[in-house]
Amino acid sequence: MSARLLLADHEPQIGRMLKSVLTAEGYIVQIATDGQAALDLAAHWQPDLILLEL
């Protein structure tokens, strides 16, 4: 079973690039572009790891 990653980054281009790289490595990736979306996805999707851009 692949690990599920939540990527929180306000820059859509960076999110798409990282999703492409991580998906190619076998991860399942969801992207949130703001804090509220990240909280909502974390609560409902329950990822194994959350990557935050600070």
Cα separation, 43 vs 1, whole angstroms? 20
pLDDT per residue as tens digits for the range 11-28: 999 999 999 999 999 999
**DSSP 8-state class, residue 33:** S
| The length of the chain, given as a count of residues | 54
Claim: this prediction has a pTM higher than 0.75: yes
Q: How many structural domains is the chain composed of?
A: 1
pLDDT of residue 36: 97
Residues paired with 4 in a beta bridge:
28
Nearest Cα to 37, choosing from 18, 49, 24, 52?
A: 52
Token pair belonging to 17:
């690039």
The whole-number average pLDDT for the span 27-40 is 97
pLDDT band at 33 (very low <50, low <70, confident <90, very high): very high
CATH number of the domain that residue 46 is part of:
3.40.50.2300
Segment 31-52 mean pLDDT: 97
Domain span at 9:
4-52
